[in-house]
Amino acid sequence: MDTFIDDAATRALADHDAGGLTVAVVDGDEVHTSGYGHAFRSEDVPVRAGETLFRVGSVSKVATWTAAMQVVDRGDITPDAPVDDHLETVDLPETYDEPITLEHLATHTPGFEVRGRGDSARKPEYIRPLAESVSTDVPARVRPPGELHQYTNYAAALTGQLIADISGQRFGSFVTDNLFAPLGMSNSTFQPAPPNLVPAEGTAVEDVVSFYSDVSPASGLHTTGADMARLLQAHLHSGVVDGERILSESAVDSMHQQWFTPHERVDGMAFGFFERSRGDTRLVRHGGSVPQFATEFALIPEEDVGLFVVAHGNEASSAKQEVVDTLLDQFAPVDSSGAQRTPDGIPERADELEGRYRSVNTTDTVSAEKLVYGLLTGQPVDVRIADDGRLVTEQGDRTDEWVEVEPLVFEHVEEDSTLLFREADGEVTHLLNGLSAYEQIGYHEQLSVQGWLTVAASVIVLTGLVGWPAGRGWRWYRGGESPPQSVTRARWVAGAGLAGLLLFVLVFIGVSVAVTSMDRPTLFNRPPAWFDVVFIVPTLGVLATAGAVGYAARAWLRDDWSLVTRVHYSAVVGATSVLYWLLQYWNLLWVRIG
């Protein structure tokens, strides 16, 4: 086994631009740990499984959910108890009657929008206490709990604070006392910038790291391969390692059971873990990544097997995945010679399924972060029905084909994966590719359509913004007759609406530059408390544009102006309204509707 791991790790480092990695494999009573390459930003320091620190990103959540189950195991809280009854430092919105429970947090089904702001910082001195991080910018609740899976760092961060409020200890102290110390994980820490992360002499962490977790229970763990082997053992050996028990056997079994799935055919969530089927083998796992690091923590409970792999470097993710795939091919091989599925005909409700679907990370975000998620993260899924009845999905460069096996449920023609469609009030609303949820969007919501609308509306708006003053100047120069006073007043009102758009762009850019130049967290990670004032500018412009619409309507009703003047004025006001609608759609107004 050691030779097998060595070959896989050495090959991965040779194939990819990765500086180093560490591997831990538990196979029954056997434990294999090893390191390869060099430590992070320290080319003269070899990776040692028992000493070299790696950042594990979201695999930090494995430790957090294990600690949460310890609190459950002690009887301090039940998984179905409302967390609001136990939280002392956070007030959750009471948007729905159904309370959020620990079970919802552990399965990422509390119904929160995704919150990116406040998750990270670029300097360790900007890191806030956990209680402050989770109580500032509490995400909106956008759906009832337990309804839909939506992965968020906030769920794990809030769980960390729940543990702190119940235990009376800071989260890091609780995990150290109740998880790391009993298991002998002596090199593991939630400290934001441990100095030995970069062991090269004369190199400080702050000089080479620009990402620090501001929600440590979700993404702030630093650890070694040997330490994580101990955590693997605890999960595989009924909560006991070298005679030290951290969980009861029933609690460990409970963590590994399925807690949520959108459909019986779909891999769902265990307690904080993701399910993954490889043929007839069931895994519970969690991946993680932060800049320059990629990680995998996986358990095969029925086989008493676990593995942990983490790599660093520009291609850390590829190197890590190559080792993981090699190990899983050994412990959970998959027969890829299965017959291809064929459709029996056109799917039921085929016309309703076709269209474009966008991630709920964008569609269900009610803050100004919606624009960030819409433009920079994820790709939409296009759905169409082929002539032979196959459902075809296209996402980026990937095309997949599916066959309907029951109403609104599709299986991949070759792979072992399931696609679902959800409906509400008789209408198809969502596509679920496994646990990943996408909402069907209209033609007007597509980025390409909105892009062309923006260009066309901007050109029309410019004809008023530039043309009206230019025409006034030309008439003054030639001594021509001025337009009626009602036209002048109407243009001033419409101009105020146009000024709101222009001023918003200038203020937003100016404030962004000013904030960036300050010695403070970035604008996205932690906007100043006063930043929302920026959105008042376009909101005032909306009011002016509403007045301009009134002038246009009156002009048409009374036949007041010349036809050319009315058409041009209406076009400019209409284009301005389109641009403000786009701002409202992307939550860039101070008053947000819907």
| pLDDT confidence bin for 467, thresholds 50/70/90 | confident
Q: What would the mean pLDDT of 43-66 be, rounded to a whole number?
A: 97
- Regarding whether 384 and 520 lie in a shared domain, the answer is no
96 belongs to a structural domain: yes
337 belongs to a structural domain: no
Rounded CA gap, 436 and 426, in Å?
22
290 belongs to a structural domain: yes
- Regarding whether 473 and 424 lie in a shared domain, the answer is no
Strand-strand pairing, 20-27 and 30-39: antiparallel
Give the Cα-Cα-Cα angle 455, 457, 460 (nearest 5 degrees).
Answer: 110
Report helix, strand or coil for 353.
helix
Report helix, strand or coil for 111.
coil
Percentage with pLDDT > 70 across the chain: 98
Summarize pLDDT for 129-171 with one digit per residue, the tens.
999 999 998 999 999 999 999 999 999 999 999 999 999 999 9
Q: For the beta carbon of residue 163, count every other beta carbon within 10 angstroms.
A: 26
Specify whether the backbone of 108 is left (phi greater than 0), alpha (psi in -120 to 50) or beta. Answer: left
Q: What is the distance of C-alpha 403 from the center of its chain?
A: 29
Quick one: DSSP state of residue 499? H
Quick one: DSSP state of residue 189? B
What are the residue ranges of helices labelled H in 188-315?
205-208, 216-219, 225-236, 249-256
- Regarding whether 417 and 484 lie in a shared domain, the answer is no
Contacts of 273 (CB under 8 A, 6+ apart): 62, 65, 255, 256, 284, 285, 286, 299
Count the domains in the chain. 3
- Regarding whether 224 and 193 lie in a shared domain, the answer is yes
- The pLDDT of residue 292 is 96
Q: For the beta carbon of residue 533, count every other beta carbon within 10 angstroms.
A: 12
Give yes or no for a contact between 413 and 390, defined as CB atoms under 8 angstroms apart: yes
- The pLDDT of residue 339 is 67
Q: What would the mean pLDDT of 554-574 be, rounded to a whole number?
A: 93
The last residue of a domain, from among 411, 441, 471: 441
Strand arrangement, sheet containing 20-27? 42-46, 30-39, 20-27, 305-312, 293-300, 281-290, 274-278
Rounded CA gap, 470 and 510, in Å?
28
Specify whether the backbone of 21 is left (phi greater than 0), alpha (psi in -120 to 50) or beta. Answer: beta
- Structure-block tokens of residue 476: 């003054």
For the cut 60, the answer to whether the pLDDT of residue 593 exceeds it is: no
Which structural domain, as residue segments, surrounds residue 184?
2-331
Sign of CA dihedral 289, 290, 294, 295: negative
Specify the range with the lowest mean pLDDT, choosing from 43-57, 195-209, 234-248, 538-552: 195-209
- Regarding whether 411 and 300 lie in a shared domain, the answer is no
- Regarding whether 142 and 9 lie in a shared domain, the answer is yes
Specify the range with the lowest mean pLDDT, choosing from 17-21, 266-270, 347-351: 347-351
Give yes or no for a contact between 113 and 139, defined as CB atoms under 8 angstroms apart: yes
- Regarding whether 400 and 374 lie in a shared domain, the answer is yes
- Regarding whether 96 and 213 lie in a shared domain, the answer is yes
Select the more confidently predicted residue: 344 or 308: 308
Q: What would the mean pLDDT of 497-521 be, rounded to a whole number?
A: 86
Which one of 365-369, 397-401, 505-509 scores highest in mean pLDDT?
397-401
- Regarding whether 546 and 418 lie in a shared domain, the answer is no
Rounded CA gap, 4 and 329, in Å?
12
| pLDDT confidence bin for 594, thresholds 50/70/90 | very low
For the cut 60, the answer to whether the pLDDT of residue 511 exceeds it is: yes
| pLDDT confidence bin for 207, thresholds 50/70/90 | confident
344 belongs to a structural domain: no
| pLDDT confidence bin for 508, thresholds 50/70/90 | confident
- Regarding whether 437 and 462 lie in a shared domain, the answer is no
For the cut 90, the answer to whether the pLDDT of residue 474 exceeds it is: no
Please give the mean pLDDT across all residues of the chain.
93
CATH of the domain at 214: 3.40.710.10
For the cut 80, the answer to whether the pLDDT of residue 228 exceeds it is: yes
Summarize pLDDT for 165-189 with one digit per residue, the tens.
999 999 999 999 999 999 999 999 9
Interaxial angle between packed helices 536-558 and 485-517, expressed in degrees from 0 to 180 and rounded to the nearest 10: 160
Question: 593 exposed, middle or buried (CB, 10 Å; 0-12, 13-18, 19+)?
Answer: exposed
Rounded CA gap, 544 and 550, in Å?
10
Give the Cα-Cα-Cα angle 334, 340, 343 (nearest 5 degrees).
Answer: 140
Give yes or no for a contact between 219 and 60, defined as CB atoms under 8 angstroms apart: yes
592 belongs to a structural domain: no
Residue appearing with tokens 């008493």: 304
Percentage with pLDDT > 90 across the chain: 80
Q: What would the mean pLDDT of 353-374 be, rounded to a whole number?
A: 93
- Regarding whether 373 and 264 lie in a shared domain, the answer is no
For the cut 50, the answer to whether the pLDDT of residue 361 exceeds it is: yes
14 belongs to a structural domain: yes
340 belongs to a structural domain: no
- Structure-block tokens of residue 477: 């120069």
Give yes or no for a contact between 251 and 239, defined as CB atoms under 8 angstroms apart: yes
- Regarding whether 506 and 407 lie in a shared domain, the answer is no
Give yes or no for a contact between 439 and 445, defined as CB atoms under 8 angstroms apart: no
The last residue of a domain, from among 420, 441, 462: 441
25 belongs to a structural domain: yes
- The pLDDT of residue 279 is 86
| pLDDT confidence bin for 337, thresholds 50/70/90 | low
The last residue of a domain, from among 387, 414, 441: 441
Give yes or no for a contact between 525 and 117, defined as CB atoms under 8 angstroms apart: yes
- The pLDDT of residue 512 is 82
